Structure 1
Amino acid sequence: MSQIKKGSITRLGFDFIPQVFIPKGKDENHHRFEQNPRSDYRNLTVEEIVILIENGNRADNWENILVSESFIPYQIRQSNFFGLVRIGHMAPTYLEYRNLKLESGIYNSTIVSSDLGDYVAIHHVRYMSHFIIGNDVILSNISEMETSSTAKFGNGVLREGEAEDLRIALELCNENGVRSILPFDGMQAADAYLWTRNRQDTVLQHRFKELTEKRFSTVRGTYSMIGDRCIIKNSQNIKNVQIGSDAYIKGINKLKNLTINSSPEAFTQIGEGCELVNGIVGYGCRIFYGVKAVRFILSSFSQLKYGARLINSFLGDNSTISCCEVLNSLIFPAHEQHHNNSFLCAATIMGQSNMAAGATVGSNHNSRAADGEIIAGRGFWPGLCVSLKHNSRFASYTLLVKGDFPYEMDIPIPFSLVNNDVKNDKLMIIPGYWFMYNMYALVRNANKYASRDKRLLKNQYLEYDMLAPDTINELFNSLRIIELAVGSQMNEESNSLTKEEIIRAGRAKLTGPLDQIPTSVLVKGFEHSKRKVELVKIGTAYPLFKRFIQYYGTIHMIDFLETHSFEELKNEMTNSQRLEWENIGGQLIEKNAIDQLLREIKSGKIDDWEDIHKYYHELSRSYLETKRAHAFASLLEITDVRSESISVEIVQAWLKEAISHRTWMVDEIYASRAKDYENPFRNMVYNSEEERDLVVGKLSENSFILQQRDELNGFIKCVHKLISKLSN
């Protein structure tokens, strides 16, 4: 049975906070006055009250209506007021936004215990309770706006007297909730990642919760707020919200328990049919057309469109989800997911990812338990209609071919294509597929993500380059995997060799005559099955991996030599180390620095989330230097040169090889795009080459290819200049 309460009409605007929770010496408005400390209000005059009544207005007590000196009673009509209502400056003006022109003032509305800013236009707001409205705000045709005394605005905290089961948590990474975190306004993907890891460390987990609770008061009575210049129109239910300035909201069904960040430089828009509950929305977001989001964080400059569903999930900056459903997932920045039947569940996706149409990553219900989790490095791309089984893990830039993958997988080799070969009942992997067949997309994507990074304050360095400490370390590991696999295949009958001896044998084979290198090799540990797992084209992949590692080291050496001498280079390389790195929220950090951060959190040396964020920012400022040290160490390791043996001649040879490799890359960029123009099946839909070039553009005028060629010419000139400089 519905619990309908009754009370005196004279108390309608009062008793917002239960008496037991009002601090001693305070009243129920104490928090409201802190939020809006403005004091230039006065009581209504008798003449003003008469005019208000003649215009069809009524109040439970006109003494509780406070106004500014520029009050215009004629601009308030057919409205009801209850409790303490404070009204800012008024003027005989109208407010206009996108052809909607509304007279400033208050019309056909019911206002309960709220503060209204200067020059607002409030029309047909059927019920507004306990709100603070900013200046120049337009509110038109809204069914219900209300605030509860325990409003938390999407943050995972409790107010005084609340039970633990009322706390909002995000159940990220898998479906069983054991990686739950407490959301808060300002949370970054790195925060969520660190909190979801190391669950066995109870001290660390307690500290994360403690740091979050310290950010918020447990005192009841915070009012909802609508920032300056916001426009909200033709909407239904709005409850317990903090909305920043300049937001544009129209036609929504429900906004409940939310913080919606917005500013003049990064205004957020929310459109028709959306329902958002228990969440945080970042700056500059776009949310349109039937979106449903519950228990979520949507980071800045991200989009949800066309019926997208985001539930118990964190979506990083500069991402887009359109039409799809995402559950229980932690997604790093620069994620793209489109098409109505894409689905992502119980996963940690580490950015620059793209979900193809029909991909169903999760919720296969292929065990007796809830879905576990899938972890995928940067550049993850499950192809059309891919279906995966939990638990699985993928290295950076893994491309999955269309199909149902029936077993759990652990793919440690980056830039690979993974194919479920049903006919031959085996898993086939092409290491370095992207290098061999689609250099155009690989290089273009790095540029694309950087150009789409709209963050106003880029104090956290998000890595978009395909060659970075994470991918380079994976390439090094992949070389060992291939060497071990080849060595093992060569010595199948021998049990006397150690693992290192097998690796050396495989390395010798792979660096020997090309006609002696096997075209494929079997590996173990990539799939939880008894069938074969085959690496193919290893004779091409193996030297490519080495070339890209050397190129990575050399391009950093080139940058260094432009402003430093050979002696300084040699000294830098002597002190370099190739350490373990980790991707936390799109920022790459050395593992030892992460360990130090966690120790300082546990010890209390770092005692709030702002200090954690400063730690990220400090590491971001030194990232390029730290990355360069990693690149130098990688160069020495892959070329098997000791730092004390470096000579001018060796450096010049590396520079010349860099020109050769960069030239090959640009040629491959062109070749991989040219295939689309040479394919007769692609051309058959056009009645001539002229029509094709008109529709898709001329290959010779492709802006990205032309840009790459211009950059190559500049690169060659720069390197030749350095070679001459070293000769002198």
Structure 2
Amino acid sequence: MSNYRQLTQSEIDVLENNVCWAEDWQRVLVDENFKPYNFHRVIFYGDIRLGSFDKMVEVSKGFVKHSGINDATLRNVTVGNDCLIEKIGNYINNYTIGNDCYISNICTLETTDDATYGEGSVISVLNEMGDGNVTIFRELNSQLASFMVKHNTDKNLRQTLQQMIEDELRVSRPDRGYIGNNVKIINAKDITNTIIKGDCEISGAARLSECTVMSSMDAPVFIGTGVICENSIICDGCSINNSVKMQDCFVGEACQITNGFTAEASLFFANSFMANGEACAAFCGPFSASHHKSSLLIGGEFSFYNAGSNTNFSNHAYKMGPMHFGTLERGTKTASGSYVLMPATIGAFSVCFGKLMHHPDTRNLPFSYLMAYGDDCYLVPGRNITTVGLYRDIKKWPKRDKRSKQSKKSIINFDWLSPFTVGEIVEGIKILKALREASGDNVSTYNFHEYVINASSLRKGLKYYDIALRIYMGAVLKRAQKEGYIGRPASTVGQGKWIDMSGLLLPQSEEQRLVDDIKSGAIDNIQQVLDRFAEINNNYSDYRWAWSYQMILDYYQLEELDEAACERIREDYVKARRAWIAEIRKDAEKEFQMGDVDQDVYDDFLSKLDHEIDYEN
């Protein structure tokens, strides 16, 4: 496409005989191998660049047409080789179109002045009334978004990050919209100020305005019937279909949004699935899912999340405005009809039932059930550790990562027991023991803030938490022995509190080091920030061992980790795993007794549990 020439007079004659017209034929330049025979009823304005048109184009399975341009008006357009463009109702204006594209029956394709393609917009996530805390651009991942949200009140850091992103966009933003190679756009209405990368298919979309579609050969994007998408970015491998309406959104790799879902000022990252419902100011981290028409995700941060039907959140106290928000830590579920009054923080891998008032904060009581019956709220600590649901979840997520190897921007650590969750368990044990010590053993209930914990639930919670601790310590020790760093850690990095940055598990000290390096100028561009997240993830095993080594010494009251201690930890690990599997088996048997689980399904699940013994060594 780089070597263009002017049309010959004979080529102009052929074009004019085919009812083509140009404002100025001298401004229509063509490829060396251009042939004019497959152009009919085409009007050219401004500067036009045309490739060669020699191949056939498959417009539907088994139905091919010759490449060319028919029934179209083009102004300031470059068209690559072997494209078929036809039935353009209005015009194509200020666009570059790649090779092997099929564009048919669309209204308008145009780039206007000051186009942003959806990049550089600052949206307000979580706090619906906020001034904006996340800058969306094509390289955004869940870690950077989480980092921006968390540190939004740090004015210096916020402005520095925004400047880094603006610097990146200044050199990467094209002067007009373009369509990559092998793109198919049919039966669409208006596409304005939109970049569409290669191998994308758009079929029946109503409007795309100020968008970037990051499609690729190994992770194509599909945008379907009735979709309206404004000021948004759609990443590799996504499917947006069936009258979805999105404004000011970022959709990460391999997400599916369908069936009339509506979203405003929201983020959706790796492998999230949204259908029927709506989202507003929502931060949907990796593997967030909402399937139901009556569910509203608003003012919340989620990851590895599943919303039951009619799930709702309230970010509005009808006083200061819709400014409240909360976090449901990784692995949390909300049952059908759940309601959570924000602000709230729900501990990792918990399950919420009913109308949860009183702004629950159970971040140090993970794996719990939170249940509301009328005005009474109950908490069952650790209950979810031994359920079939948790077992299935932790097994299915790695298998359901549909991202291609080349499009894994967001970092996802699938460990369900990690220094983050185990650290919460350690704190949870302290809380439960303190409650028991304060009220004694001869009581029927304990009170944790506004929540009631039955005495039997407290005892079982301590038991389940201890099982999880022993499983974690044994598993980490086994990995350390295989990887050859069983001794005292070479570094203290990893000790202290850990956090979950929307899929990335890391020591809080490493987050603070990143903050300091950005402020000091040691990190001076956005790619270095993203590289730091990758570096932290690559060091996860070392950081985890530094944390776990001290935790093991504290738990077993050891001075050092010798062979005898390792053997004891391994024995406890095997016993704990078997106790865990036995409890899950009981949970499966209980559900089977309800009568609507097929025998084959039940037997298959028990067979998987039987094979858990294979992971003991």
Shared fold, TM over 0.5: yes
TM range (shorter): over 0.9
Contact 2:57–2:102 under 8 Å retained in 1: no
Q: Which amino acid aligns with 2:360?
A: M
Matched, 1:523 2:440: no
- Any residues of structure 2 matched to 1:428-577 within 5 Å, and which? 428-436=378-386, 438=387, 440-455=388-403, 456-457=405-406, 458=408, 461-490=411-440, 516=441, 520-524=445-449, 537-562=457-482, 564=484, 569-572=486-489
Aligned partner of 2:68: which letter? G
Give secondary structure in 2 for the equivalent of 1:539: helix
Cα displacement (A) at 1:535:
7.0
Q: CA deviation at 1:39?
A: 2.9
Structure 1 vs Structure 2: percent identity of aligned residues? 21
Residue among 126, 131, 148 paired with 2:112: 148
- Give per-residue Cα distances to partners, 1:470-526, cap 9 Å, x unaligned: 111110111111122112214xxxxxxxxxxxxxxxxxxxxxxxxx575531223x5
Provide the residue aligned with 1:353 in structure 2.
305
Residues 334 and 353, structure 1, Cα contact 8 Å, conserved in 2: yes
Q: Distance in 1 between matches of 2:173 and 2:602?
A: 64
Instruction: Name the counterpart of 1:73.
Output: 36
Note if 1:108 corresponds to 2:9. no
Aligned residue among 369, 381, 385 for 2:321: 369
- Alpha-carbon distance between aligned partners in 2 of 1:285 and 1:480, rounded to the nearest angstrom: 44
> CA 1:627/1:74 → structure 2, altered by over 3 Å: closer, same or farther?
same
Of 343, 352, 356, 1:400 maps to: 352
Spell out, residue by residue over 1:258-317, the C-alpha distance to the aligned partner (whole angstroms, 9 max, x if none). Answer: 110011100000100000000111100011100001000000110101011121011111
Paired with 2:280 and 2:148, the residues of 1 have a C-alpha distance of: 18
In structure 2, do the counterparts of structure 1 residues 393 and 219 end up closer, same or farther at CA, with 3 Å as the change threshold?
closer
Q: Does 1:379 align with 2:299?
A: no
What does residue 93 of structure 1 align with? 56
Equivalent residue number for residue 220 of structure 2: 267
How much does 1:100 deviate?
5.0
Instruction: Select the residue among 349, 366, 376 that pairs with 1:414.
Output: 366
Per the alignment, do residues 574 and 87 of structure 1 end up closer, same or farther by CA in structure 2, a change over 3 Å counting? closer
Q: Is the 8 A contact 2:139 2:409 kept in 1?
A: no
Note if contact 2:6-2:30 (Cα within 8 Å) is conserved in structure 1: yes
CA distance in 2, matches of 1:385, 1:299: 28
State the distance in 1 between where 2:130 and 2:340 align: 20
CA apart distance, 1:571? 3.1
**Structure 1's 584 and 263: CA in aligned 2 closer, same or farther, altered over 3 A?**
same
2:523 aligns with 606
| Partner Cα separation in structure 1 for residue 581 and residue 567 of structure 2 | 21
For structure 1, the 5+ residue unaligned runs are: 1-37, 157-167, 491-515, 684-691, 719-728
1:44-443 correspondence runs (5 A) = 44-91=7-54, 93-99=56-62, 101-126=64-89, 127-156=91-120, 168-217=121-170, 222-349=175-302, 351-363=303-315, 365-401=317-353, 403-412=354-363, 413-422=365-374, 425-436=375-386, 438=387, 440-443=388-391
In structure 2, the CA distance between the partners of 1:219 and 1:378, relative to structure 1 (3 Å rule), is closer
Unaligned segments of structure 2, at least 5 residues: none
Q: 1:175, 1:370 within 8 Å by CA — same for their partners in 2? A: yes
Give the structure 2 partner of residue 699 of structure 1.
602
- Partner AA of 1:671 in structure 2: K
Cα distance in structure 1, aligned partners of 2:142 and 2:438: 41
| 1:569 positional shift | 2.5
1:330 positional shift? 1.4
TM-score by length of 2: 0.95
Amino acid at match of 1:200: T
Aligned 8 A contact 2:473 2:573 in 1: no
Q: Report the Cα distance in structure 1 between the residues aligned to 2:184 and 2:395, rounded to whole angstroms.
A: 35
Q: How much has 1:219 moved relative to structure 2?
A: 11
Q: CA deviation at 1:382?
A: 1.4
Counterpart residue identity of residue 479, structure 2: D
Offset at residue 363 of structure 1 (A):
4.8
2:610 matched to which residue of 1? 709
- Matched letter for residue 88 of structure 1: G
Query: What letter matches 2:211 in structure 1?
Result: L
Q: Aligned letter for 1:520?
A: T
Pairwise CA distance, 1:629 = 2.6
C-alpha distance in structure 2 between counterparts of 1:563 and 1:472, whole Å: 21
Which whole-Å CA distance do the structure 1 matches of 2:494 and 2:511 have between them?
17
Q: Secondary structure at the match of 2:488?
A: helix
Pair 421,557 (structure 1): closer, same or farther in 2 beyond 3 Å: same
Instruction: State the alpha-carbon separation in 2 of the partners of residues 85 and 479 from structure 1.
Output: 71
The structure 2 residue matched to 1:629, chosen from 525, 546, 554, is: 546
In 1, the alpha carbon distance for the partners of 2:105 and 2:216 equals 24
CA deviation vs aligned residue, 1:144-179 (integer Å, no higher than 9, x gap): 1111121111112xxxxxxxxxxx321101111244
- More deviation, 56-65/662-671: 662-671
Greater CA drift, 271-280 or 406-415: 406-415
Q: Which amino acid aligns with 1:560?
A: A
State how far apart, in whole Å, the 2-side matches of 1:219 and 1:111 are.
Answer: 26
Amino acid at match of 1:627: R
Distance in 2 between residues matched to 1:577 and 1:299, nearest whole Å? 29
Q: Whole-Å Cα distance in 2 between the matches of residues 267 and 220 of structure 1?
A: 22
After TM superposition, give the deviation of residue 221 of structure 1 in Å.
Answer: 7.3
Judging changes above 3 Å, is the alpha-carbon distance between structure 1 residues 51 and 459 closer, same or farther for their aligned structure 2 residues? closer
Partners of 1:304 and 1:322 within 8 A in 2: yes
Q: Which has the higher strand share?
A: 2
CA shift, 1:572, in A, is 4.0
Residues 677 and 711 of structure 1, relative CA distance in 2, 3 Å threshold: closer
Cα distance in structure 2, aligned partners of 1:416 and 1:50? 78
Over residues 656-702 of structure 1, what are the superposed CA-to-partner deviations in whole Å (9 max), with x where a residue is unaligned?
Answer: 1211111222233333223232114x37xxxxxxxx44xxx342233
Q: Give the 3-state SS of the residue equivalent to 2:427 in structure 1.
A: helix
Count matched residues: 613
Name the CA shift for 1:100/1:368 in 2 (closer, same or farther; >3 Å): farther
User: Following the alignment from structure 1 to structure 2, what is the Cα–Cα distance between the partners of residues 197 and 49?
Assistant: 61
